[in-house]
Amino acid sequence: MKENKGFAQIIYAIWCVVLVSLAVFFFLAWQNHHRFKHPNVVVAKPALHVDEFPVEGWLLWQEEVVSSPVKGVLKFVNGGKVARVAKGEAIAVIEGAERKVIWAPKAGYFVPALDGEEGNWNFARVWLDYDNLPKAVKARTVPQGVNVQKGTLIGKVIPLPQALRCVFYVYLTPKVKENLQKNFLWIRLDEMDVPFRVEVLAKEILGLKARVNIALTPYFPAHLTIDRKLNFMIYEGRRHGVLLPEESVIFKKGKQGVYVVSKGLATFKEIKGIPMEGNMYFVEEGLLPGEIVILNGDKAREGRVFLW
């Protein structure tokens, strides 16, 4: 009797396990079906992608140093700041045994600062010995009110107008290579600046890179006279497209694409684009702004779906 009771309990336990397993199986199947039929979706947002990359180069300009004609205390007319001056305009005064006014020898920028490269900085040196140049060449301001001797350098005049030039290395991307063949490039000096076209004065192809000399005319703001190094962007163009989370994009049968939902149907659509920062993806071809895309592309499939 006890054996029959024990056997019945075993059978009961087995049936319980089977029933629970079936319940779990059907629940997971329903959940999986529900996930396919009610996916999380995102809307393709319009976006603009700017193709550009940073470079740094060395600036070149003509300059003329200014020295003190007598011994005394130096006082700058413009308070020791870079200033645009006319030829013959007073730029400094030396107070000593006699009061001596220093006049601008030429029209241009008067820079009351020196970097030690005055007289040594020229195109031949920068072009031929580029890799051996100092890491930085930034001018130090000559102090206001300092005692100077006769012949002491107190600054320099950069004559204007003149073509500000820049020598730098640039990677030969397809667009850069195409533009160099036409002797121009597009650059952008900062994030708030608009791109502008510059003339290529000289170029030398060196494997995957090119050494280039450009003219920045008519751009020559006063603040560039303090540092001979310039950081800027090579601008290649801009592309219109849409932005999506990167997880929406998958590969299917060797094609890159997303699942687009239209009229209750999810279909795979091939796209072209590039990954972006922040786990986002810029789609250049294949999608329009406002199209609805399934968020988790690797968990989606084609067929009827319900969004609401």
- pTM (predicted TM-score): 0.76
- What pairs with residue 232 in β-bridges? 55
Which tokens belong to 283?
Answer: 């789609």
The CATH fold of domain 62-159? OB fold (Dihydrolipoamide Acetyltransferase, E2P) (2.40.50)
Token pair for 45? 């947002």
What does the pLDDT read at residue 150? Answer: 93
Mean pLDDT of the chain: 88
Residue among 80, 101, 239 nearest 146 (CA)? 80
Mapping DSSP to helix (H, G, I), strand (E, B) and coil, where does residue 137 land?
Answer: coil
Yes or no: say if 240 and 185 are a contact pair by the CB < 8 Å rule.
no
What percent of the chain shows pLDDT beyond 90?
67
Residue position matching structure tokens 């009827």? 304
Other beta carbons within 10 angstroms of residue 204's beta carbon come to 11
8 Å CB contact between 260 and 39: no
pLDDT of 220 above 70: yes
For the CA atoms of 296, 244, 270, 291, what is the dihedral angle to 10 degrees?
A: 100
**Stretch (H or E) spanning 292:** strand 292-294
pLDDT digits (tens, 9 = 90+) for 18-47: 666 665 555 455 455 545 456 788 899 999
pLDDT of residue 190: 81
51-58+164-239: what CATH class?
A: mainly beta
Q: How big, in percent rounded to 5, are the helix, strand and coil portions of the chain?
A: 20, 45, 35
What pLDDT is recorded for position 138? 92
Which range among 16-20, 33-37, 136-140, 229-233 shows the weakest confidence by mean pLDDT?
33-37
Residues of the chain with CATH 2.40.50.100: 62-159
Q: What is the dihedral of CA 21, 24, 26, 29, to 10 degrees?
A: -130
Q: What is the pLDDT at residue 26?
A: 52
| pLDDT score recorded for residue 93 | 96
Compute the CA torsion angle 165, 167, 170, 176 (nearest 10 deg). Answer: 30
Using one digit for the tens of pLDDT, what is the confidence trace for 48-89? 999 999 999 999 999 999 999 999 999 999 888 999 999 999
Residues of the chain with CATH 2.40.30: 51-58+164-239
